[in-house]
Amino acid sequence: ALAVCGCLRIHGSRAAALRWAPTGIISAMLLWAGMQAVKLTSLSTLTVVRNANALCLLIAEWICFGVQPSLGKVLSLMVILAGVCIYTWQDLKDAPSSLLGLFFIVLDSVLVCIDSMLERYLLAVRPIRLSAAACVLVNNLVAFACVALLLAGPLYREWSEARLPRSGVLWSAATLPGGVAMAFVGIYLRRVVSATGAVVVANVDKVLVLLYGVAFMGDRMDGTKGL
């Protein structure tokens, strides 16, 4: 991300960077909560539950930003919520998750909603004077610092699990272009569509994530979950 940002125009005020900095803290918390949720539950469950965030954001934008939802939007998101409830109930029935795992799933969802609302506010409702490249740079630097503090403090035991085989390094490096692209697309997307719309667009990839979880991570899929 730093290399790409160096090739793009980075401009903005220090005050704007400070206003944007909390998004990096939330990003680090999202990373931590999501990893804990995957460890204690399943990737498929976390992915499906995130679909319910769109309905929460629709209500939040109505209350905070005055964006009145249409009946069609409400009904479509209610259908998604029904699907989330069916899938989660079936998943818990097949393999009961720990209460701690469920807590991290809820925490992850709350953080996603807070992050989406904050970014939408700073990028569209009360836009800051900060270029997209600068937004990506500030977000990544702040998130990196937060993750470093977590690893140096309460999560210092994670170092004992760290392994850096050559294949792992190569796969990690291969994810960098995708991560940079996602960061920039996320910035541009939240500038032109609502927080709810951005989350709904992001939900399109959930089918691929579910299939990946079934194929490579041992997640179970039956007729009820498929529905």
* pLDDT tens readout for residues 162-173: 676 777 778 778
CA distances from 66 to 59, 62, 84, 116, 193 (A): 10, 5, 27, 16, 15
Local confidence band at 151 (pLDDT 50, 70, 90 cut-offs): confident
Estimate to the nearest angstrom the gap between the alpha carbon of 106 and the chain centroid. 13
Q: Return d(Cα 75, Cα 81) in angstroms, integer.
A: 10
Rounded distance between C-alpha atoms, residue 189 and residue 39, angstroms: 30
Assess whether pLDDT exceeds 50 at residue 72.
yes
Question: In this structure, how many other beta carbons lie within 10 angstroms of the beta carbon of residue 91?
Answer: 23
What span, in angstroms and rounded, lies between the C-alpha atoms of 190 and 201? 11
> Could you give the count of Cα atoms lying within 13 Å of 83 in the half-sphere of its Cβ?
19
Read off the pLDDT of each residue in 146-150 and give the average, rounded to a whole number. 87
Report the chain's terminal Cα–Cα distance, integer Å: 38
Rounded alpha-carbon distances, angstroms, from residue 50 to 112, 113, 130:
8, 10, 29
Compare 115 and 8 and report the one with higher pLDDT: 115
- Owner of token pair 């793009």: 8
**Is residue 180 predicted with pLDDT exceeding 90?**
no
Q: Is the pLDDT of residue 161 over 80?
A: no
Structure tokens at 13: 């005020």
Band the pLDDT of 221: cuts 50, 70, 90.
low
Is the pLDDT confidence value at 111 over 90?
A: yes
pLDDT at 94: 62
Phi (first) and psi of residue 155, to 5 degrees: -110, 25
Per-residue model confidence (pLDDT) at position 3: 45
* Greatest Cα-to-Cα distance within the chain, rounded to the nearest angstrom: 53
pTM of the predicted model as reported, rounded to 2 decimal places: 0.78
Give kind and range of the element (H or E) at residue 5. Answer: helix 2-7
- Render pLDDT for 10-54 as a digit per residue (tens, 0 to 9): 788 889 999 999 999 999 999 889 888 888 877 777 777 887 888
Please, are residues 121 and 1 in contact by the beta-carbon 8 Å criterion? no
